Chain A
Amino acid sequence: MLNELKQKALKEIQGAKDLKTLEELYRQFLGRKGELTAVLRSLKDLPEKERREKGKLANQIKLELENIFNQKKSEIRNLKSEVQDGWIDITAPGILPALGHFHPITKIRQQAEEIFQSMGFTVAEGPEAETEYYNFDALNTPPEHPARDMTDTFWLKNKKLLLRTHTSPVQIRYMESHNPPLRIIAPGRVFRHEATDASHDVQFYQIEGLMIDKDVSAAHFRGILQEFFKRFFGPEIKIRLRPSYFPFVEPGFEIDIKRGKGDWLELMGAGMVHPNVLKAVKYNPNLWQGFAFGMGLDRLAMIKYKIDDIRLFYSGDLRFLKQF
Chain B
Amino acid sequence: MKVSYNWLQSFFIGKLPTPEKLVEVLTMHSFEVERTEKKGSDWILDIDVLPNRTHDCLSHIGVAREIAVIIGDRPLGRDNSLPKGRTPLKEDKSQKIKDFLEVKVQDKNLCPRYCARVITDIKVAPSPKWLKERLEAIGQKSINNIVDATNYVMFETGQPLHAFDFDKVEKGIVVRRAKKGEQITTLENEKYELDQDILVISDIREPLAIAGIKGGKKAEISQNTKNIILESANFSPINIRQTSKKLGLRTESSIRFEQGFDPNLASEAIDRLAGLIQEIGGGKVIQGMIDIYPKKIKPKTIKLEIEKAKRLLGIDVSIKEIKNILEELGFELRVTNYALRITIPTRRMDITLPEDLIEEIGRVYGYEKIPAQLPTAVLILPERNESLFYENRIREILIGVGFSEVYNYSFISEKQVMGEQISDLIEVENPVSQEQRYLRPNLILNLLKNVKDNSRFFNEIKLFEIGKVFEKEEIKRAAGIFALKNKPKEAQEFYSLKGVVDSLLNKLRISDIWYSDQISDSRFRILDLFHQGRRAEIKVGEDSLGWLGEINPEVLKGLGIESRAAGFEIDFEKLVKLATEEREYLPPSKYPAVVRDIAILVEPAAKVEEVLNLIETAGGALVQDVDLFDIYEGEEIGEAKKNLAFHIIYQADDHTLTNEEIEKIHNKIVSVLENEGGWEVRK
| Shortest beta-carbon distance from A65 to chain B in Å | 42
A100 contacts B51, CB within 8 Å? no
Question: Among the listed stretches B171-179, B365-373, B607-615, B652-660, which one makes contact with chain A, having 4 or more residues with CB under 8 Å of it?
Answer: B365-373
> Among B28-36, B98-106, B577-585, B616-624, which stretch is in contact with chain A?
B28-36
Do B353 and A250 have beta carbons less than 8 Å apart?
Answer: yes
Task: Say how far A146's CB is from chain B's closest CB, in angstroms.
Answer: 6
Binds B, one of A28-36, A131-139, A314-322: A314-322
Tell me whether B677 is interfacial, beta carbon within 8 Å. Answer: no
Q: How far is the CB of B367 from chain A (nearest CB, A)?
A: 4
Residue B405 CB within 8 A of the other chain:
yes
Does A181 count as interface, using CB distance less than 8 angstroms?
yes
With A117-B382, A243-B29 already in contact, the answer to whether A274 and B259 are too (CB < 8 A) is no
Closest to B360 in A: A251
Residue A123 lies at the interface, judged by CB distance under 8 Å to chain B: yes
Are A154 and B430 neighbours in the complex by a CB distance under 8 Å?
yes
Q: Report the stretch among B131-139, B278-286, B308-316, B518-526 that lies at the interface.
A: B308-316
B427 touches A157 (CB 8 A): yes
Nearest residue in A to B258 (C-beta to C-beta)?
A146
Within 8 Å CB of B413, what residues of A? none
Are the C-beta atoms of A316 and B312 separated by less than 8 Å? no
Complex Cα gap A272–B436 (Å): 36
Binary contact readout A213-250 vs B (1 if CB under 8 angstroms, 0 otherwise): 10111111011111100000000000011111100001
Contact A313 B380 (CB under 8 A): no
Cα–Cα, bound, A243→B385 (Å): 34
**Which of A98, A226, A313 is the one whose CB lies under 8 Å from B407?**
A313
CA distance A158 to B425 in the complex (A): 11
B398 at the interface (CB under 8 A from A): yes
Q: How far is the CA of A23 from the CA of B532 in the complex (A)?
A: 74
Report the Cα distance A316→B458, complex, angstroms: 13
Q: How far is the CA of A130 from the CA of B436 in the complex (A)?
A: 19
* Interchain CB contact under 8 A, A242 and B28: yes
CB distance from B467 to the nearest CB of A (A): 8
**What is the predominant secondary structure among interface residues of chain B facing chain A?**
mixed
Number of interface residues of A (CB under 8 A): 82
Stretch at the interface among B341-349, B414-422, B448-456, B538-546: B448-456
Interface stretch (choices B11-19, B116-124, B387-395): B387-395
Task: Establish whether residues B398 and A100, one from each chain, have CB atoms under 8 Å apart when the complex forms.
Answer: yes
Does residue A304 face the partner (Cβ distance < 8 Å to B)? no
Neighbour of A316 across the interface among B373, B400, B406, CB < 8 A = B406
* A125–B410 touching, CB < 8 Å: no
Cross-chain contact B401 with A128 (CB below 8 angstroms): no
B192 in contact (CB, < 8 A): no
Are B380 and A242 in touch, CB under 8 angstroms?
no
Say yes or no: B429 contacts A220, CB within 8 Å: no
Query: From residue A263, how far is it (CB to closest CB) to chain B in Å?
Result: 12
Given A125-B387, A146-B259, do A219 and B313 touch, yes or no (CB 8 Å)? yes
Which of B241, B353, B372, B375 has the largest count of A CB atoms less than 10 A from its CB? Answer: B375
Asked, given contacts A144-B238, A146-B241, A289-B311, whether A243 binds B461 with beta carbons under 8 Å apart, the answer is no
Contact partner of A251 among B27, B355, B427, CB < 8 A? B355
Contact among A103, A128, A216, A227 for B410, CB-based, below 8 A: A128
- B463: Cβ under 8 A from any A Cβ: yes
- Closest chain B residue to A215 by CB distance? B311
Closest 5 CB pairs of A and B: A219-B314, A217-B314, A98-B402, A251-B359, A316-B450
Instruction: Taking A125-B385, A218-B314, A223-B375 as given, write out 20 further A-B residue pairs in contact, using a Cβ cutoff of 8 Å, ordered by the A residue number.
Output: A100-B399, A100-B401, A110-B392, A117-B382, A120-B380, A120-B382, A146-B51, A146-B237, A181-B377, A183-B380, A194-B432, A202-B409, A202-B432, A218-B312, A220-B374, A223-B374, A250-B356, A253-B367, A289-B312, A316-B408
Residues in B lying within 8 Å of A, measured CB to CB: 27-32, 50-53, 237-238, 241, 258-259, 311-315, 353, 355-356, 358-359, 362-363, 367-368, 370-375, 377-383, 385, 387-388, 392, 395, 398-411, 426-432, 436, 439, 446-447, 449-450, 453-454, 457-458, 461-464, 467-468, 470, 474
9 cross-chain CB contacts under 8 A = A127-B474, A189-B410, A218-B312, A220-B375, A242-B27, A245-B51, A275-B353, A318-B457, A321-B405
